[in-house]
Amino acid sequence: MNRKQQLLKRHRRNKRIGLLIALVLLIAIGVLVAWWLPLLLAVLGWIAHEAWFADHLFYSPKDDYQYSFPPYTQQPKVHLDGELLRLDDGVMLVDNATLVVALRIKSTWLGRFIDPVVELSGGDNPDRQTFERGVDGLRYLNLSGQANVLSQGELRLRGRFCRLIGEPVLRAFEHPDYRRQRVMVIAPHADDAELAAYGLYSQADEAWIVTLTAGEIEAEHYQQLGLNKAEAARLKGRLRAWDSITVPRWAGVPEAHCVQLGYFCLQLAAMQAAPAKPMGSREADLNDTQLFRQLNPFALPGDADGAPTWNNLLADLRELLLRARPEVIVLPHPTLDPHPDHICAHEAVLEALRGLEWQPTTLLGYANHLHDNDRWPMGDAGHGIALPPVFDSSVPMQPCCLPMPLGLQRDKAMALGMMHDLQPPMPFKRRVRRLMQWLLAGRVPPIYGENEFFRKAVRRQELFWLLKHGETSVKQN
């Protein structure tokens, strides 16, 4: 069981215990006070839960984030003068550097019910970055894109429902413009490439999109068409395979650079455990990948027998790596992203690269899911991305941010809207919860679509993590 599943299991156990205690108290109130009072309190309690306590936050908001950055990281001297963040005299910043400032953030009492926000203002690039309700600890603001206004001494940091405490520590990470290199994005499922890296691959001089699985499971939406479970899974897989090949065309990626490998969702770990053994689909009643590979622009080694094996996956990846010769590979982060297919996708790429005659100069990691906080990136669509919760300082982390101007954000949102897996309407319970959070907690629904990824992924930056650059690498456990 991975860490996220353990945290979720503990969260559900604690919730059951809390509900049992609440039930006992309500019965006691009904007996001792009035029979109708428990009913009223139960309704109010449910409303409060949906509005303020339904987030999956598997840590205390008072916990400090525990980042470790590489020892050579630049630390330009800054200080907070009221609301103004000022550089010391003589300090110069590179325009495209990734800038991160560490500050202690403490919520006000209202910040326990309304998301605390730090507003960045003073230039023509204002921003808002959101943190956990009740926050009281060390956090990391993302100042990428603010180098000019910071250098001019005009950048203001203002807490809304929170206060900024202590001396700020600024870190600057310089990196080349990866958009001017050959980029290959590894997507475990259709839409992972768009969620994580649409801005990067849409602007790259040359881009390849390689999707590993058809993402065919959990097809209940298609069973409403009158299909049985296997038929619905096959239809969903075909649609997502189509998405993975065609949606990158919206960004100008040529058809010849979009590949769907057609392996089966949530089976990569089983394939890895027995590399020569075929692992069929859990729900589509398929043991052959050919159905989902029909749109590929050229043949691959796995086409020979269509067997869903780890050995075939590695052979396919090696063929693609040698054909594309990417300088930058963008793939799931090995410790931040807990999805089992994402973990296996990372490990498959590393294994395929082992001993290969072509080696990329850069590996960039992304996280479309988190262990600790299902709502990250917090805040609304169009806002900046503060660094995510990290509590293991033994693992050095090096962020890399790509700016996303408004026009590119809209194009990204349209690309996500073309993805069939993000189109089904939300369940009724989630609709009610979103309405309550909007009315009581001030959370604005995403403007581009119902799915939560329209809020989380359409932002002012795309955030990556440098895993390898040139001859050096950032070690990951």
pLDDT mean for each 10 residues of the chain (477 residues): 63 73 76 80 86 89 96 93 89 89 97 97 93 97 95 95 96 96 98 98 98 97 97 98 98 98 98 98 97 97 98 98 98 95 98 97 96 92 97 92 97 98 94 94 93 97 90 44
Residue pointed to by tokens 């069973």: 223
- Which residues fall within 8 angstroms of residue 128, CB to CB, at 6 or more apart? 117, 118, 119, 120, 379, 380, 383, 384
Cα of first residue to Cα of last residue in the chain, in angstroms, is: 17
pLDDT at 475: 44
Strand 84-87 relative to strand 162-173, pairing: unpaired
DSSP state of 283: S
320-347 as b/e: b if 16+ CB within 10 A: bbeebebbbbbbbbbbbbbbbbbbbbbb
267, 320 Cβ separation under 8 angstroms: no
Residue 29 CB-density burial (10 A; 0-12 exposed, 13-18 middle, 19+ buried): middle
Q: Name the H helices within 127-285.
A: 147-151, 192-203, 220-223, 229-246, 268-273
* Cα distance between residue 344 and residue 312, in whole Å: 14
Tell me how far CA of residue 280 lies from CA of 216, 337, 342, 421, in angstroms. Answer: 12, 24, 18, 21
Report the amino acid identity of residue 436.
M
In three-state form (DSSP H/G/I as H, E/B as E, the rest C), the secondary structure along 388-400 is CCCCCCCCECCEE
- Which residues fall within 8 angstroms of residue 4, CB to CB, at 6 or more apart? 338, 369, 370, 371
Residue 106 CB-density burial (10 A; 0-12 exposed, 13-18 middle, 19+ buried): middle
* Cα distance between residue 388 and residue 67, in whole Å: 10
Nearest to 298 by CA among 328, 260, 251: 260
pLDDT at 136: 97
Q: Centre a 10 Å sphere on the Cβ of residue 138 and count the other Cβ atoms it contains.
A: 17
pLDDT at 8: 63
pLDDT at 11: 62
386, 225 Cβ separation under 8 angstroms: no
* Cα distance between residue 396 and residue 67, in whole Å: 7
Note the Cα 253 to chain centre separation in Å.
22
